[in-house]
Amino acid sequence: MPVATVNGIALNYQVKGDGPLVVLIMGTGSPGRVWDLHQVPALVAAGYRVCTFDNRGIAPSFESADGMTLDQLVADTAGLIRLLGTEPAFVAGTSMGARVAQELALRHPELVRKAAFLAGHGRLDQFQKTLSAGESELDASGVKLPPKYDAAVTAVMNLSPATLADPNAARDWLDVFEFSGGPISPGVRAQRKMDRDFNRVDAYRKISVPVLSVGFADDRMIPPYLSKEVADAIPGAVYQEIPDAGHFGYLERPDLVNKALLDFFAA
């Protein structure tokens, strides 16, 4: 993957396919290559040029271990779109990446043709604030959870009960979580420490680009009512809820998520 200097930092990215540009923005703690499992192949097959990248905080992009802001993440994405030289782009983000996409659509409508927010949110409720603060405290403590317990907690927080009720799917996911776990990098810690006390719902009433907000019905991390709240605030925005999907709905129900994205981009 090429590394470019964007917004004054090193940003690791890749581009696949030909056609109109789609930029995919990943959530907290995950590399851009996660999109390669399902979304990139579907978009490339549909005739799009797809860019994925590692947000600051995710090596080999600049880790920004001393801290970062959402404003910086938005500027990084805007700079990458300008670098690719095919603005405006279709943009989609998930979780933290959805927040980046939301702010990008608000501040830089000239760079965004259409925007899709997966598990988007304009604020956090008390549970999410407490969970996020707890994660930061756990990171600072140096305590390492036993791998099996960590895998179980990760599964409960990010997957649908429908997935966990399937013995084969549950086993596969738990194995993935157990063996992909490890120390939290300084960059990911910096992502987790970003501002939790925000409310941008009213600000999003000024978003003027076409928007699709996707909620995942069983999402414990970003419950779907917060995603619908974003759609309700944006003039003309469309809300769609994916059933039997948790926070990782784009991995659990990729066919439904891909169809939602493709139908929206093509409309």
Residues labelled catalytic: 95, 219, 247
Q: Which residues is 241 bridged to in the sheet?
A: 215
Please tell me the distance from the alpha carbon of residue 149 to that of residue 145, in angstroms, as a whole number: 7
The rounded Cα 17 to chain-centroid distance in angstroms is 21
Nearest to 213 by CA among 235, 240, 233: 240
Tell me how many degrees the CA angle 102-104-110 measures, rounded to the nearest 5.
Answer: 125
**CA R_g for the chain:** 17
Sequence-ordered list of residues with C-beta below 8 angstroms from that of 55, at least 6 positions apart, any chain: 25, 26, 32, 61, 73, 76, 96, 97, 100, 191
CA distances from 3 to 36, 47, 52 (A): 18, 25, 12
User: DSSP per residue over 205-260, as a string?
Assistant: GG--S-EEEEEETT-SSS-HHHHHHHHHHSTT-EEEEETT--TTHHHHSHHHHHHH
Residue whose tokens read 């690719």: 84
Query: Which among 29, 80, 84, 37 has a CA at the least distance from the CA of 59?
Result: 29
Q: Provide the edge-to-edge strand list for the sheet that holds 238-242.
A: 3-6, 9-16, 49-53, 21-25, 89-94, 112-118, 211-216, 238-242
Give start and end residues of each alpha helix (H) in 46-125.
70-84, 96-107
